[in-house]
Structure 1
Amino acid sequence: MLSRRGLLAGSALALLAGCSSPPAGPPPGPPAVPEPTHPAALRDPVTVQRMHSAARGTDVDLVLITPEGVPASGLPVCLALHGRGAQARTFLSLGLPALLTAAVRAGTPPFAFAALDGDHYWVNVGSDDPQRMLTDEVPGWLAARDLRPPSAVFGISMGGFGALRFARAHPDLKAVATASAALFVSWPDARSRKVFADEANWRDSEPLLHTAELRPGSLGVWCGESDPFLGADRRLVKAVSPAVSRFSPGAHDDEYWRGVLPEIVKFVGERLP
Structure 2
Amino acid sequence: MVVGATAGVVGLETGLIPGRARVHDLVGLTGPDGVIPDVPAGPAASGSFESFGRRTTVRYSVLYPDGYEPTDPLPVVLVLHGRGGDHTSAVRDLGIDRYLTAAVRSGTPPFALATVDGGADTYWHRRVTDEDPGFMLDQEFLPLLAKRGLDTARYGVLGWSMGGYGALLLAALRSWQRRVRPGTRAVAVGALSPAIWRSYADAAPGAFDNQEDFDGGQLFGRRVGLQDVAVRIDCGRDDPFAEAAADLRRELRAGGGQQAGAHTPGYWRRMLPAQLEFLGRELRN
Question: Is TM more than 0.5 here?
Answer: yes
Deviations 1:249-273 (A, max 9, x none): 1110110011001111101001112
Which amino acid in structure 1 is aligned with residue 233 of structure 2?
Answer: V
1:57 pairs with one of 50, 55, 65: 55
After superposition, where does 1:62-211 map in structure 2 within 5 Å? Answer: 62-72=60-70, 73-93=72-92, 94-119=94-119, 120-125=122-127, 126-149=129-152, 151-171=155-175, 172-190=185-203, 192-211=204-223
Give, in whole Å, the separation in 1 of the partners of 2:53 and 2:227. 27
The number of residues matched between the two structures is 228
- Tell whether the 8 Å contact from 1:139 to 1:148 is kept in structure 2 after alignment: no
How far is the alpha carbon of 1:71 from its aligned partner? 3.5
Give, in whole Å, the separation in 2 of the partners of 1:85 and 1:195. 12
How far is the alpha carbon of 1:196 from its aligned partner? 1.4
Name the CA shift for 1:144/1:216 in 2 (closer, same or farther; >3 Å): closer
Residue number in structure 2 paired with 1:24: none
- Tell whether the 8 Å contact from 1:184 to 1:208 is kept in structure 2 after alignment: no
Over the aligned positions, Cα root-mean-square deviation in angstroms equals: 1.6
Give, in whole Å, the separation in 1 of the partners of 2:200 and 2:224. 20
After superposition, where does 1:34-45 map in structure 2 within 5 Å? Answer: 45=43
Give, in whole Å, the separation in 1 of the partners of 2:66 and 2:74. 13
How far is the alpha carbon of 1:225 from its aligned partner? 0.7
Which amino acid in structure 2 is aligned with residue 108 of structure 1?
Answer: T
Name the CA shift for 1:217/1:61 in 2 (closer, same or farther; >3 Å): closer
Unaligned runs of 5+ in 2: 1-41, 176-184
Matched, 1:249 2:260: yes
- Structure possessing the higher radius of gyration over alpha carbons: 1
Residue number in structure 2 paired with 1:221: 233
How far is the alpha carbon of 1:144 from its aligned partner? 2.5
Give, in whole Å, the separation in 2 of the partners of 1:65 and 1:268. 15
Residue number in structure 2 paired with 1:4: none
Deviations 1:148-181 (A, max 9, x none): 2261101101011111111112334221100000
Q: Which has the higher contact order (CA 8 A, sep 6+)?
A: 2
- Tell whether the 8 Å contact from 1:216 to 1:241 is kept in structure 2 after alignment: no
Unaligned runs of 5+ in 1: 1-43
Matched, 1:264 2:270: no
> Following TM superposition, where does structure 1 have runs of at least 4 consecutive aligned residues deviating by more than 3 angstroms?
none
- Tell whether the 8 Å contact from 2:246 to 2:257 is kept in structure 1 after alignment: no
